[in-house]
C-alpha cells in the first residue's frame, strides 16, 4: 500500500487544511488501551469490513487529518477504499504493524524511518 505524500498537495504542506484536524487510531482492542492512555481517540472495529466502513466515514466527514491504522485492517481493501486511499489527500492514513508482530528495535526504527520518509519526503534518523 502506498502512503499519500503530503508534498503533492500544497494545502497540506502549508497546514491550512490539517490545522484543526484530529488524530484517530484504528486498532484491535488489546492495542487500543495504550493509545487511549496516551490521550488518542481510538476505534476498535471487530473486523476488517467494519474497519473499512469506519475509514470510509472518516474520508466522508473530514473530521480527522491523520488516521493510524493497524496494518491487519488494510491487507485487502475493497475497491472503494483502495480508491480513497490512493486519491484523497485527507485523512493521511498511516499503517502500523500489528501488535502481535515481534520486531526488534533496529527493524522497528527502520520501519518508522521509512514511514516518515514516505510521508514528508526526508529521511529522519531516530534516536
pLDDT tens digits for 76-120?
A: 889 999 999 999 988 999 999 876 655 566 776 777 778 777 877
pLDDT tens digits for 73-82?
A: 998 889 999 9
Query: What percent of the chain clears pLDDT 90, i.e. is strictly above it?
Result: 38
Burial class (CB in 10 A: 0-12, 13-18, 19+), 54: middle
Question: Is 43:28 a contact under the CB 8 Å cutoff?
Answer: no
Residue 25, C-alpha cell as written in the block: 487510531
Residue 43, C-alpha cell as written in the block: 476505534
Average pLDDT, the chain: 80
pLDDT tens digits for 32-68?
A: 888 898 889 999 999 999 999 999 999 999 899 999 9
The domain ranges of the chain are 6-98
Q: How many CB atoms lie within 10 A of CB 91?
A: 25
Reply yes or no on whether the pLDDT at 2 is more than 60: no
Does the domain at 6-98 match CATH 3.40.50.10580? Answer given as yes
Burial class (CB in 10 A: 0-12, 13-18, 19+), 20: exposed
Amino acid at each position: 500500500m502506498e502512503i499519500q505524500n503530503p508534498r503533492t498537495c500544497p494545502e497540506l504542506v502549508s497546514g491550512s487544511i490539517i490545522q484543526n484536524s484530529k488524530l484517530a487510531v484504528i486498532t484491535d482492542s488489546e492495542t487500543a488501551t495504550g493509545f487511549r492512555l496516551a490521550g488518542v481517540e481510538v476505534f476498535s472495529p471487530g473486523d476488517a469490513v467494519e474497519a473499512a466502513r469506519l475509514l470510509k466515514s472518516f474520508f466522508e466527514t473530514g473530521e480527522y487529518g491523520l488516521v493510524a491504522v493497524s496494518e491487519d485492517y488494510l491487507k485487502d481493501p475493497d475497491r472503494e477504499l483502495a480508491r480513497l486511499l490512493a486519491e484523497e489527500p485527507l485523512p493521511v492514513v498511516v499503517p502500523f504493524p500489528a501488535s502481535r508482530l515481534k520486531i526488534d528495535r533496529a527493524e522497528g526504527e527502520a520501519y518508522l524511518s521509512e514511514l516518515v520518509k514516505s510521508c514528508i519526503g526526508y529521511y529522519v534518523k531516530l534516536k
